[in-house]
């Protein structure tokens, strides 16, 4: 699947942590999920180390503005997790979410993972519907993040 027209992606480096945090906390605030941090947010302080064995990317528009984030985080030899998947409002409704999930599924397969997990919040209705359409099944949530109350997984 090709990335939608007028958009591109790049593999994030440590220097992208500040802009990634700005995008993520902007979207969290939009959905009433901001105002506090969680230990998983620390992964953006050292992206290259935190996402070793996975991937962390940024979406940019035709003006080279960063408008989204998406990551695949290694949990174990066989399991990984989609993390930090956010798009600014101006980048939504263009097929980027579907592209990001497809990219991460392919990356997980390429890296030899057998299962992809993810946690999300009930207020993120568009994301939940996307995950379901992409083949993720809802499972019992057991994440320690106060922002997340829903969990999904896909065996690949």
What digits encode the pLDDT tens for the residues 4-30? Answer: 999 999 999 999 999 999 999 999 999
Q: How many CA atoms lie within 13 A of 3 on its CB side?
A: 16
Q: What is the spatial distance between Cα 67 and Cα 127, in angstroms, rounded to a whole number?
A: 16
| Residue whose token pair is 């080279």 | 64
Contact between 74 and 53 (Cβ < 8 Å): yes
Q: What is the spatial distance between Cα 115 and Cα 152, in angstroms, rounded to a whole number?
A: 11
The larger pLDDT score, comparing residue 146 to residue 132, is at 132
User: What's the mean pLDDT when you consider all of the chain?
Assistant: 93
Reported as a single tens digit per residue, the pLDDT across 31-61 is: 998 766 655 667 888 999 999 999 999 999 9
Q: What is the spatial distance between Cα 155 and Cα 82, in angstroms, rounded to a whole number?
A: 13
Residue-level pLDDT at 27: 95
**Is the pTM above the cut of 0.75?**
yes
CA distances from 117 to 36, 37, 114, 155 (A): 23, 21, 10, 9
Helix (H, G, I), strand (E, B) or coil at 109: helix
> What percent of the chain is predicted at pLDDT more than 90?
84
Residue-level pLDDT at 143: 64
Residue-level pLDDT at 148: 85
Given a cut of 90, whether residue 63 has pLDDT beyond it is: yes
Residue-level pLDDT at 34: 77
Q: What is the spatial distance between Cα 37 and Cα 99, in angstroms, rounded to a whole number?
A: 27
User: 154 pLDDT band (50/70/90 cuts)?
Assistant: very high
């Amino acid at each position: 699947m090709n990335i939608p027209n007028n958009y591109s992606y790049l593999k994030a480096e440590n220097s992208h942590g500040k802009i990634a945090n700005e995008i993520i906390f902007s979207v969290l605030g939009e959905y009433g999920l901001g105002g506090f941090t969680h230990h998983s947010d620390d992964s953006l302080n050292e992206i290259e180390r935190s996402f070793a064995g996975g991937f962390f990317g940024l979406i940019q528009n035709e003006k080279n503005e960063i408008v989204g984030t998406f990551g695949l985080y290694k949990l174990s030899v066989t399991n990984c997790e989609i993390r930090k998947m956010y798009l600014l409002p101006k980048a939504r409704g263009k097929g980027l979410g579907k592209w990001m999930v497809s990219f991460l599924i392919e990356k997980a397969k390429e890296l030899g993972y057998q299962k992809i997990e993810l946690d999300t919040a009930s207020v993120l209705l568009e994301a939940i519907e996307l995950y379901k359409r992409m083949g993720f099944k809802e499972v019992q949530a057991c994440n320690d993040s106060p922002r997340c109350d829903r969990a999904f997984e896909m065996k690949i």
